[in-house]
Amino acid sequence: MNVVNIKPRLLLGPGPSPVPHRVRRAMAEPVIGHMDPQFFEIVDDVQSMLRTVFGTQNRLTLPVSGTGSAGMETAIINFVEPGDTIIVVVAGIFGHRMVEAVKKAGGHAVVMEIPWGQAASLEHLKQTLQEHPQTRMVAVVMAETSTGVCQPLEGWAQAVHQRGALLLVDVVTALGGMPVDVDRKDFDVVFSGTQKCLSAPPGLSPFTASENALERLDNRTTPVASWYLDINAFRQYWGQNRVYHHTAPISMIYGLHEALSLTLEEGLEKRYDRHRQVAASLWAGLEAMGFELLVAPSVRLVSVTTVRIPPSVDDVRLRHDLLHRDGIEIAGGLGSLSGKIWRIGVMGHGARLSNMIELLVALRRRLAEQGRDVPSGVEAAETAYRANNR
């Protein structure tokens, strides 16, 4: 009989991130029923911890059964009705995905196009809202995984709410690695994923919605065009009534519970600082080796670093060698950035100085094999880490 035998990898791509032993051990606990009182205790803990990490008091805060893409679909299919005008900020692949989801829900997607590698301005948003006064929702990615841009969102909710619209925010690559501050920033609908900065396996999508958003949902004039992702159906299970909707992914919930526990044991501010410090060390190391980073420091995402590939480097060969000879995974570019950048994850359990140094050493070795002798980035990385760790 065949037995799964997985070779370990150092996961430094844009997700999934390395999963700690405690999370994997939790997932090996006995499976119990999804209506078992023991399981409901875990469910309640997960909801409470998610509220803390999201920075919200929202009653509706839960993990959707599915990956971050299921969270995106849940957000759009519940809060977009046929004919609704939805402004979608497109600054990378994941903005494009929301456009497609809006169209499939019957909405009219107004694309607010931003050059890849740049962030959208509040002024641009206000202008677009003025041009489309019937807008019902604005959808934006806070941490664009395909470009490594961190989208500033201060003041966005005020501009959106003045038009009577909702603000939907994708925080898939942000949650657990940087402040999301749902309540302070007055976001309405927010979704994430477990496999990024939370360092749990993929399979759940942390999700939260404000009372303002739920009022919009309650006043829909058309039924939600999904059975599985209908919030009105499954929120009864996650509330006090415990009404069965679907079988919860029990072992995944165990894993998320442990990942959230680890996050809060570390402390959110310390965790955010760790991500910033390790990202800064990686940036310094790469630049010391002569690489150019895609994104300007002012909007650079700490959880995913994007670095331009020198013209003479064989991208596919280098990433293949890193994976199969060094056991290190990084990713290439997507869409218009395919073959032009590498994407390096600095996320969750993987956000460690030792991991960055291991990558820099291996990267230098593989570049030398392609005839490119570059300086070491280790000393620069260590120096930057010390400078940011005072």
Output the DSSP codes for 79-98: H--TT-EEEEEESSHHHHHH
* Residue finishing a domain among 264, 280, 305: 264
Domain that holds residue 364: 267-387
CATH of the domain at 353: 3.90.1150.10
Considering the domain architecture, whether residues 117 and 211 belong to the same structural domain is answered as: yes
Considering the domain architecture, whether residues 175 and 291 belong to the same structural domain is answered as: no
Please say if the pLDDT value at position 239 is more than 80.
Answer: no
In a domain, 11, yes or no: no
The runs of H, that is alpha helices, within the chain are: 21-27, 37-54, 68-79, 93-104, 122-131, 156-161, 182-185, 211-218, 231-238, 250-266, 268-288, 315-326, 353-369, 378-387
Please say if the pLDDT value at position 259 is more than 60.
Answer: yes
Please say if the pLDDT value at position 2 is more than 80.
Answer: no
Please say if the pLDDT value at position 1 is more than 60.
Answer: no
In a domain, 141, yes or no: yes
Question: Whole-number mean pLDDT of the chain?
Answer: 96
* Residue finishing a domain among 236, 264, 292: 264
In a domain, 12, yes or no: no
Are 79 and 189 a contacting pair, CB within 8 Å?
A: yes
pTM over 0.75: yes
Average pLDDT over residues 262-290: 98
pLDDT of 210 reads 98
For the chain, the C-alpha Rg in angstroms (whole number) is 21
Domain total of the chain: 2
Considering the domain architecture, whether residues 314 and 238 belong to the same structural domain is answered as: no
In a domain, 226, yes or no: yes
In a domain, 296, yes or no: yes
In a domain, 67, yes or no: yes
* Residue finishing a domain among 243, 264, 285: 264
Average pLDDT over residues 363-382: 96
Considering the domain architecture, whether residues 90 and 226 belong to the same structural domain is answered as: yes
Joined tokens for residue 210: 């404000």
Give the pLDDT confidence of 63-84 residue by residue, as tens digits: 999 999 999 999 999 999 999 9
- 3-state class (DSSP) for residue 379: helix
pLDDT of 314 reads 96
Give the pLDDT confidence of 91-109 residue by residue, as tens digits: 999 999 999 999 999 999 9
Considering the domain architecture, whether residues 255 and 304 belong to the same structural domain is answered as: no
Considering the domain architecture, whether residues 227 and 354 belong to the same structural domain is answered as: no
Give the pLDDT confidence of 164-215 residue by residue, as tens digits: 999 999 999 999 999 999 999 999 999 999 999 999 999 999 999 999 999 9
In a domain, 9, yes or no: no
pLDDT of 180 reads 98
Considering the domain architecture, whether residues 236 and 171 belong to the same structural domain is answered as: yes
Considering the domain architecture, whether residues 199 and 62 belong to the same structural domain is answered as: yes
In a domain, 8, yes or no: no
Give the pLDDT confidence of 29-56 residue by residue, as tens digits: 999 999 899 999 999 999 999 999 999 9
Confidence of residue 368 (pLDDT cuts 50, 70, 90): very high
Q: Return the closest-CA partner of residue 171 out of 122, 208, 199, 137.
A: 208
Considering the domain architecture, whether residues 303 and 358 belong to the same structural domain is answered as: yes
Considering the domain architecture, whether residues 178 and 85 belong to the same structural domain is answered as: yes
Angle (nearest 5°) at CA 193 between 51 and 171: 70
